[in-house]
Structures are given as C-alpha cells and as structure tokens.
Amino acid sequence: MGKVTGFLEQARLYPLYEAPENRIKHYKEFVHALSDADASKQGARCMDCGTPFCHNGCPINNIIPDFNDLVYNQDWAEALATLSLTNNFPEFTGRICPAPCEAACTLNINNDPVGIKSIEHAIIDKAWAHHWIKPQKAKKKTGRHVAVIGSGPAGLACAQQLARAGHAVTVYEKNSRIGGLLRYGIPDFKLEKWLIDRRMGQMQDEGVTFKTGVAVACGDFPVGVANGASTVVTVDELKQKYHAVVLAIGSETPRDLPVPGRQLNGVYYALEWLIPQNQTVAGDGDNPINAKGKHVVVIGGGDTGSDCVGTANRHGAASVTQFEVMPRPPEFENKGTDSVWPYWPMKMRTSTSHEEGGERDWSVSTQAFVGKNGQVEKLQCVRVEFKGGKMQEIAGSEFDVKADLVLLAMGFVHPAQNVLDAFGVERDARHNASATHVGEHAYRTNIDKVFVAGDVRRGQSLVVWAIKEGRQAAHYVDAALMGESNLPL
C-alpha cells in the first residue's frame, strides 16, 4: 500500500493557490488540482498504517488508503470507483471540507499528514474531465414516490441514493436554484456554482425531478434566508402524493447579538450579505450592501466569518477585522519530530481568506454598537476570559473599534420551527428535529413516513456530515419502503 518509504522521501504537498493579491480581484476559484505526478507522489506518502485512522476520521468513511495507493500507481479509474463507493459529491468535499481525515492521519503526529483532500480533488476533477462520471440509472423502478425537501448536500445525497435504488424522487427547493448553502452561503471563490449544476444534470439523468421556487409547508423564513419561493406546497398534499418525505431543510435561523445598537443600519447577519453576493456573482441580482472603502467588522471566527472576510477583501474594504469570543487556540510550535501534540488542521481555524488581508482577534466580546443618525460607527468591546466554563469580562480591558459595516457570523441556532411545526415533528433540546439514531428507526421522526437528515437534525455542521446523513437516511427510507435495503450505510 503506497510506497513503504514514501513518507520519508516526499514532503506533504499543499494545494496550488493563486497568489492572494491576484485572487482578491475576482470571485473565481483559485485552488488547482494537483498534477498527476504530484498526486502520485502524495499518494505514495500513505504509510499503510494497518489501522487507517483517516478512514474513521472521515464522516463518510472514505476508503482512503486504497485510493491513495491507486493514485500512487496511477490507476485513476479504479481510484474513482473506490471514492464513489462512499461519496456522492467529491468535487464539493475535495474543495471545501476541513478534512478531518487529515487530522486523523497517522503522519499528522509530525504535522505533515498525507494531502488526502488534494488527492480527492485530483481524482474527481480528472474523472469529470475524462467523462468517466456517468448517470447510474436504476435497473428496476420500485413504484414508490419520495419527496425530498431541501436541495443542500443532505437533500441531494439522499435524493441521488434513493433514485439509484429505483424510487421516483422529487426534490422541492424554496430557492430559485438548488444547492442550499453550497450555492447561497459558500462564496464562488471556494466553490463555483457550475459544479452544482453539473451534478444536477447527472441526477436528472438518473430520474430525479427538481421543483425550485417551491416552499414546503410555510412561506415565512428566518431573516437573511434567500427565498425565491413563488409556490407553497402543503403537508397534506405531500402526504397524499408520496410514500415518504425526507426533510433536509438545513438550520437557517442565525444567532443574534442582542446588545444596545443592534438595530443600527450597517449591522447585518452574515447571510444577509453573502446570499445577495452569491446571487450577484451568479447574475441573479445586485448586492445592495457594498463594503468598498468601509471599515468592516466580522463577529464570529468560523467558516461563515472567514467567507465574510474573503468577500470584504474582494469588495475593497478599507479594513477588515474579525473577532472571536473564544480564546486563541494554543500556537503550534513546529519543532519537527519533537513537536508538541499537533493541532493540524484546525489550528486557529485559518482559512485561505485570512491570507488575503484583515486582522483577527480572540477573546473579544461586543458590548454595544454605537452610531449617529441611525448608522453604526463603532463597536464597544471588552476582552473576556473563561473561568470554570463561564465567560467573564476583564475589567479595564474595554476598547472601541471603528465600523461602517458589521457582519454577525456567530452560527445558526436551529432550523425553521414553523416548517417542523407544520409536519408535527418533535424537537430535541436544541430545537433541532428529533429522530432516533439506532436500528431501523434511524432518521425517522415521530411522524409516520417523515424522515430528517442534515443540519435540520444535527444542527449546524459540515458538508461532509450532510452528505453522510443524506446517504444514511436514504438507506432507512429504502428499507422502510421495501422491507430491506442494499443502499450502503
């Protein structure tokens, strides 16, 4: 498996990125797949550990050592076959996954794990380029009809698996285009949207029907949610028409910061800015909020916050500052094999957007937004520390920061409750849809024939987890409809 001495001879190769000063001039992707030769060298680094921790670190359990070896040996078609066993959309995860597999890689002990994500990216881009990706049409139709509500990665993965099992699948999406947060949250510079359209074409060839601009159960959605819905379908209509319904509606209610001055102009939820920005790039609108020449403050240190940083840099902001309330993660000191336990790749949650400009600061809490004539002008902040699990403000550490535009990127609290209410689906303690996890009832809600998958069930998470949930839910829907299922878990 791999080259026995490969990891000793070849260093980890990082993905190839366009220089920050060039890439901030456009919204296009700036990461390139590795060349065949470089991917092969990277595959050679896989040590064949015996216990492949990477395989378990990956939520969809990609069979990583096998495809690493196949790429090392330049057997690309077989590498694609192996990758496709577990992942419906490697072109998404190969670009935007935080790669927990690499964190789990044994070589990470030296802080230089195999570049698994780059290998995945290389396999799938090559496969599409060579037209190896074909529709996998079901050989036999089951005569069962399934509605999937929501076309994010969970809904898409679920729909594709169910169609391949022979069910007639219809995906309902309230937005005018499919993709969920892949399309409307994540900027094009991380994931260009033609990648989603290309998969949609494959899924249509496999028999999936997409109905866009159709909201299920309810027309009202949380602030900041792209809502191009022109039609509403009721729960009763769905129950009459379909043998099963899968709710994959995401978790779209943003966390607010209810401090004095929150109502001032210039203070927005991140998605109130990122959604129109993605629509603008797609030619579907014109973002009314322009950051050019403005002092931008992003509150929140996760993926959404870094996407705001990258977008603000592309708008030409005068300054970009990102605050995180949590403490700065311990710095990793690279001392070769004597290094402290590695924090890769979650170290400081650094994204490519941070290489493009802006300041970051940790342990900062915002006490108030202050402005004039209804427009925000500054933030009043204070430094905090955590004692006994409780956040405490540090007296005397107060400071002000100039701001014309503030973006709240502090996560999402729960899915749209009104849609779950309309179905009568029970909630867990965090207000996510509740579904038991084990055995034949997995992903099933308390309502007959109604299943849930993705962020709606797990809470705000990652694309790779959404794909996993969609795939697993499909297995359980298939089993419920047919008595048993051959779809992989």
Among 52, 59, 180, 300, binds ligand FAD (CB under 6 A): 180
Query: Could you give the CA distance from residue 64 to residue 47 in angstroms, rounded to a whole number?
Result: 11
Q: Specify which residues 322 forms β-bridges with.
A: 298, 360
Q: Compute, in degrees rounded to 10, the torsion defined by CA atoms 206, 208, 213, 217.
A: -160
Task: Find all residues with CB under 8 Å of 294, minimum gap 6, and list them.
Answer: 317, 318, 404, 405
* Residue from the set 90, 185, 276, 301 that interacts with ligand FAD by CB under 6 A: 185
Residue 102, interface with ligand FAD (CB under 6 A)? no
Residue 463 near ligand FAD by CB under 6 A:
yes
List the interface residues with ligand FAD, window 148-177 (CB under 6 A): 149-155, 172-175
Q: Is 238 in the site for ligand FAD (CB under 6 A)?
A: no
With beta carbons less than 8 A apart as the criterion, state whether 58 and 97 touch: no
Query: What's the closest the beta carbon of residue 415 comes to ligand FAD, in angstroms?
Result: 8
Burial environment of residue 41 by CB neighbours within 10 A (0 to 12, 13 to 18, 19 or more): buried
Would you give the binding string for ligand FAD spanning residues 388-427, x where CB under 6 A is met? ----------------------------x--x--------
* Comparison of 215 and 480: residue with beta carbon closer to ligand FAD: 215
214 — alpha (psi -120 to 50), left (phi > 0) or beta?
beta
| Residue keyed to tokens 């209610």 | 253
Q: Which is nearer to ligand FAD, 174 or 449 (CB)?
A: 174
> Residue 74 in contact with residue 36, Cβ under 8 Å?
yes
- Residues numbered 200 to 219 that lie near ligand FAD (CB under 6 A) are 215-218
Return the range that interacts with ligand FAD (CB under 6 A); candidates 29-37, 77-85, 130-138, 302-310: 302-310
196 binds ligand FAD (CB under 6 A): no
Report how far residue 20's alpha carbon sits from residue 92's, in angstroms, rounded to the nearest whole number.
22
Q: Does 186 bind ligand FAD (CB under 6 A)?
A: yes
Judged by CB under 6 A, the number of residues near ligand FAD is 39
Q: Where are the beta strands (DSSP E) in 248-345?
A: 253-254, 267-269, 295-299, 319-324
Closest CB to ligand FAD among residues 90, 454: 454
The footprint of ligand FAD on residues 4-63 (CB under 6 A) is none
Classified as helix, coil or strand, 155 is helix
Q: Which residues contact ligand FAD by CB under 6 A?
A: 96-97, 149-155, 172-175, 180-182, 185-186, 190, 215-218, 248-250, 274, 303-304, 307, 416, 419, 454-455, 461-464, 466
